Structure 1
Amino acid sequence: MTRTGFAQADAMGAALRARLGPKPALTLWSSPTGRALQTLAVIVEHLGLDWHGARTDERLREIDVGSWTGRGYDELHQEGGPLLDPVTGLFLRRADDGEWYDDIARRLEGWIADHGQTPGDKLVLMHGTSSRVLRGLLTGAPARAEHRAPVLDALPQGSIALIEDGIETCIHRGDGTAPAS
């Protein structure tokens, strides 16, 4: 995690502490990636919770861009033309061996089916693109035709979205740039 990411996680933790108080009754969920778990650890320190009790699930991971992994957007643009919609930040095309938004929706629908109805509040730490799809699913947003999945607008990195009874409220707006996707 970068210093910027650490500062964003610190701000998120402080915002949640101000809203929820110490030791709120939350089930902690995270993508299994190292940076997601590091972020969660910083956030929940503010809440007086132990991140070691977090549950991880592969289905909360970021979009799989296949053979594009590790390559820059400029390189991919030069190779195959426009990559990202300049308005939405969503991919205009997919890697031949990567996921598309409906693939993300399917795996997240499985996570919701397994854990969405369990009692109690959940704090879910995941990644930009996948979180846009999860937020779309949880709010009942219509599918975007070109992406075949409900994908909500991007929030700046370091933001916290609260979804309650299908309604989303941004309870902390991060100071990071909106994610590239």
Structure 2
Amino acid sequence: MLQLFFVRHGETEWNVEKRLQGRLNSNLTENGIRDAELLGKRLATIDFEAVYSSPSNRTVETAKLIIDERTLPFKTDERLMEIDLGEWEGRTVDEIQQSEPELYHLYQDNPSQFKGTGETFADVKNRLEAVLAELVEAYPSGNLLIITHGVVIKVLQAIFKTRSLDLVWEPPYIEGTSLTIAKIEDGKRELLLEGDIAHKERKIV
């Protein structure tokens, strides 16, 4: 059995500003750094075969905070990057809603029909399916830690639940450093945990 521990990067400055990041980047906030460290403590007893990360700075930094001083194989894969949102990247949600309300409506309510100047949700699904196939072949069993992005994890949920991309925004919400665990065994895929933030809720302020 292969277990996949999917983690969204920690909170960033643009997350706080409700600014879409996509392939662009902004720095982790103090909360984002602290939450990643707390998740690292939560996962300290899990034996991971390897760590995979999107090459975005915010995911790589989150991964390093989680694994701390552990020596683990560390690999980046561009297919784990956030959805490419083209001209929307760097803009706030309010700005996009005002300038392109119909396209934003599709993004939120009919994701399968969304097509901006970057990727579609189907594009994201296709690259993630390829990653999953390769991971299963490379690791028949064990645990993998995978640090990625919000939309990516929502699409992964749709993949594991074999449901339409139009339901990609169904709860739970994927917060920064939230943990989603999936298993693949004998070709069967199952979600064991979705968007869990127990480590953040117990944090000492």
TM-score normalised over the length of structure 1 = 0.76
User: Out of 30, 37, 56, which is 1:33 matched to?
Assistant: 56
Residue 11 and residue 93 in structure 1: after superposition, are their counterparts in 2 closer, same or farther (change >3 A)? farther
Moved over 3 A (4+): 88-95, 150-153
TM-superposed CA distance for 1:93, in Å, is 6.9
Cross-structure match for 1:64: 84
TM-superposed CA distance for 1:63, in Å, is 0.8
Q: In 1, distance between residues paired with 2:143 and 2:123?
A: 26
TM-superposed CA distance for 1:61, in Å, is 0.2
User: Out of 64, 68, 81, which is 2:101 matched to?
Assistant: 81
Aligned with 1:116: secondary structure? helix
Cross-structure match for 2:162: 141
Larger RCO (CA within 8 A; separation ≥ 6): 2
Farther-moved stretch of structure 1 (163-172 vs 56-65): 163-172
Q: In 2, distance between residues paired with 1:90 and 1:36?
A: 27
TM-superposed CA distance for 1:2, in Å, is 1.5
Aligned with 1:64: secondary structure? coil
Residue 105 and residue 43 in structure 1: after superposition, are their counterparts in 2 closer, same or farther (change >3 A)? same
Cross-structure match for 1:10: 37
Aligned with 2:84: secondary structure? coil
On the 8 A contact 1:6/1:42 being kept in 2, the answer is yes
TM-superposed CA distance for 1:171, in Å, is 8.1
Q: In 1, distance between residues paired with 2:138 and 2:89?
A: 34
Q: Which runs of 5+ in 2 are unaligned?
A: 1-27, 185-189
Cross-structure match for 2:4: none
Residue 90 and residue 111 in structure 1: after superposition, are their counterparts in 2 closer, same or farther (change >3 A)? same
Aligned with 1:122: secondary structure? strand
| Aligned residue pairs, count | 164
Cross-structure match for 2:137: 117
User: Out of 151, 155, 167, which is 1:129 matched to?
Assistant: 151
Q: In 2, distance between residues paired with 1:171 and 1:109?
A: 20
Deviation string 1:19-52 (CA, Å, 9 cap, x unpaired) is 52xxx2321100001110100000001xx4236x
* Equivalent position amino acid for 1:71 in 2: R
Farther-moved stretch of structure 1 (67-76 vs 93-102): 93-102
* Equivalent position amino acid for 1:107 in 2: R
Deviation string 1:68-102 (CA, Å, 9 cap, x unpaired) is 111111111111216268xx798697453111211
TM-score normalised over the length of structure 2 = 0.68
Report which of the two has the higher share of strand. Answer: 2
* Equivalent position amino acid for 2:148 in 1: M
* Equivalent position amino acid for 1:25 in 2: F
Deviation string 1:136-173 (CA, Å, 9 cap, x unpaired) is 32x243123x37xx666322222111112413314841
